[in-house]
Amino acid sequence: MGLMDTVKGWFGGNKDKVTGGIDKAGDVVDDKTGGKFESQVDKGQDTAKDAVDKLGGDEAPPAAP
């Protein structure tokens, strides 16, 4: 199993939880910085969510050998 398969397995069926975690992390950063870096944080959140989509976050994890 390659690295990408491993990462896809981590996300398997949990895309909503992963993207929710990305949102929460961004909210914490915005709160701690007083929104000073809001546009940069939003851009980072969007990039992270795009990466989750590209990794196929809706797929079920691969079966164990």
pLDDT digits (tens, 9 = 90+) for 13-54: 788 888 999 999 999 999 999 999 999 999 999 999 998 888
Does a structural domain hold residue 32?
yes
Does a structural domain hold residue 4?
no
Does a structural domain hold residue 19?
yes
pLDDT at 6: 74
Does a structural domain hold residue 31?
yes
What is the residue range of 15's domain? 9-54
pLDDT at 2: 77
Range in 35-39, 55-59, 60-64 the model is least confident about: 60-64
Does a structural domain hold residue 62?
no
B/e letters for 30-60, b = 16+ CB within 10 Å, e = fewer, are beeeeeeeeeebeeebeebbeebeebebeee
Query: In total, how many domains does the chain have?
Result: 1
pLDDT at 60: 52
Q: 5: which residues sit within 8 A by CB, 6+ positions away?
A: 62
Does a structural domain hold residue 24?
yes
